[in-house]
Structure 1
Amino acid sequence: MTSPPGVEPADLGDVLHARGLRLTPQRRRVLETVRALGHAGADDVAEHLAAQPGSGPVDPSTVYRALAVLEEVGLVARTQLDRRVPVFHAVEHGGHLHLVCDGCGEVAEADPGPAHTMAADILSRNDFAVDTGHLALRGRCARCRQPQ
């Protein structure tokens, strides 16, 4: 299991304990699943967990609660890639822009550098701080822009 910078798997319990929380088996499994899937909605996480050998049905409310706690302590981040449900990714996945194709639904990643420049401009002009760590840009990929 990959860990956030400076946090080894054995220390995850300490990270949670420092916030007055426990590292439960469900929280560990949800975090491991988010790390394995890259970008995943809560339902995707529940389905992945339920499909694991020796695992039975997973209560979606358990997954939602675990994701909320992991987000609160900074181990996962939420991004709204489409107009339906948010997806989560592990924070050590790094900063990136999400490029969402409105044609096929493909999600690609891009360097966040230009977004930082845009965010600085918006801050100076509008006194509004843009969260570039959770930014999804919608458009059409090269394949979907090709004439039919």
Structure 2
Amino acid sequence: MSADLGSALHARGLRLTPQRRRVLDAVRALGHAGADDVAEHLAREPGSSPVDPSTVYRALAVLEEVGLLARTQLDRRGPSFHAVEHGGHLHLVCEGCGQVSEAPSVLAASLAADILSRNDFAVDTGHLALRGRCAACREQ
């Protein structure tokens, strides 16, 4: 995968830096992660040098720009990122406990088609976050 990272960056005239590689690896390890989550993950890596939070923010932006990360707004704090090879999926965000689970984006296909026909608006179901309550929170 670092060849993909290097190729994607070089195609845009950008360099492959150790920080960019570490940020991408952290997002892949975490699944869905905000900038603070990535910075905390990198700070806990044994034997590695710390990465400044501003470097994490810049690396996330560059990795999104070259198409290796996708951004989703899972909560009101800030964007969450996931690796694009993770594929398109719906994000199911519990407003009770904050748990994020996933569902296949194909489940929203009929909704997206209905919105397109009624409103002439194409919904990107690959980055859709749906808020609600998980089973455990509904039982409470």
TM superposition score normalised by structure 2? 0.94
Distance of aligned partners of 1:143 and 1:11 in 2 relative to their CA distance in 1, 3 Å threshold: closer
Runs (4 or more) in structure 1 with deviation over 3 Å come to none
Amino acid at match of 1:100: V
5+ residue gaps, structure 2 = none
2:59 is aligned to: 66
Are 2:93 and 1:134 aligned?
A: no
More displaced stretch, 11-20 vs 92-101: 11-20
User: Relative to total residues, which structure has the larger helix share, 1 or 2?
Assistant: 2
Alignment match, 1:52: 45
Unaligned 5+ segments in structure 1 are 4-8
Give yes or no for the alignment of 1:24 onto 2:17: yes
- 2:105 aligns with 112
What SS does the corresponding residue of 1:57 show, helix, strand or coil? coil
Give the match for residue 81 of structure 2: 88
Q: How big is the alpha-carbon RMSD for the aligned residues of Structure 1 and Structure 2? A: 1.2
| Identical aligned residues as a percent | 83
Which residue is equivalent to 2:28?
35
Q: CA deviation at 1:108?
A: 0.7
TM-score by length of 1: 0.89
